[in-house]
Amino acid sequence: MKETCHLCLSSKEEVLFRTKEDYNWGFNCLALALYKTDSALLADSFMSNHLHEIVQTAEPDRLMKLWRMSYTRHFNKKYHRRGQLGETEHFATSVEGVYHLLAALSYVFRNALHHGVTQTPFAYPHTSANAIFRDELGKTAAVQLLQPKSYHNHVARNAEIPSHYKMNMDGLFLRENVVAVKQVELIYVTPRNFLYYMNRITDEHWIEEQKKDNNGMPPVTLENMEKGVSLTPVAAMLTNEKGRANYNRITDMQLCEEIDRMVIDKFRHPSIYEMPMSEKNELMHILRERYRIGNEQLRRCLAMSMYC
């Protein structure tokens, strides 16, 4: 029997996605895992060091296992890396009731906002927020599609691809083909209500609203949605929600792309994962002076805690 659940996998020691191509591969692997497990995706958000999904599935553990195996194979081959990617266990919670589901969906759609990456949910490309109410919100610009014969350049060679999945020129399955868009739109009812939830401030009224579900479960909050991540303090996420983040700072993806260029051009290694710790420390010093960024971001983008 299918259940609605929130799934999350985090990576405290290193980033999961270093480039736009990695984000695309990550979503494509999820799309194929959903198809294999006959699961429905309601919302997703791929961040550099974690990902969130709201899914309806009878096999949540198998779904995550298929995704992790497929994506790790890509990541390890590309970056000359070995071993498991991400934390040992993924985080999972059940979502029951309309108001619980509205809160869970909204927090996933707004994940980049809460982590201070973008000022609105719609400015972040690696989420399904822009797949909802596309016509009503003016997001139906024509997309140039790849020919199906080229799809396997962006997924595993032996992958079974459903016929309704279309892929754009960047090698990404269209989220509107993968996400259960109509179902999500019925949950929000109207585009105006959807926009309200995308801009809603987290407060006690949201918690009180969820009591209407009368399901005996604790309310969906930022704290329990991020429990499996524990990377950004809730107080900071609430501040970010109000648009008070520093949006001029370098992102993990920008930093990783700079690192990977320097690893190849300056240090003559094929990957950060084949770089000795002494050279990582040297590169860390260069980047700290260049961008005035903290050690935590540098360490995860340099994979400092991984064996070299």
Task: Tell me the pLDDT band of 51, cut-offs 50, 70 and 90.
Answer: very high
Q: Is the separation of the CB atoms in 87 and 12 below 8 Å?
A: yes
* pLDDT (average), residues 170-190: 98
Give pTM, 2 decimals.
0.96
Q: In whole angstroms, give the CA distance from residue 234 to residue 222.
A: 7
3-241 belongs to which homologous superfamily? Transposase IS200-like (3.30.70.1290)
pLDDT tens per residue, range 103-135: 999 999 999 999 999 999 999 999 999 999 999
Q: Is the separation of the CB atoms in 126 and 51 below 8 Å?
A: no
Whether pLDDT at 299 is above 90: yes
Task: Tell me the pLDDT band of 140, cut-offs 50, 70 and 90.
Answer: confident
Whether pLDDT at 227 is above 90: no
* pLDDT (average), residues 262-287: 96
Whether pLDDT at 307 is above 80: no
pLDDT tens per residue, range 52-71: 999 999 999 999 999 999 99
Q: In whole angstroms, give the CA distance from residue 55 to residue 279.
A: 42
Whole-number mean pLDDT of the chain? 94
* pLDDT (average), residues 188-196: 98
Cβ partners under 8 Å of residue 138, min gap 6: none
pLDDT tens per residue, range 229-247: 877 888 999 999 998 888 9
Range(s) of the chain covered by CATH 3.30.70.1290? 3-241
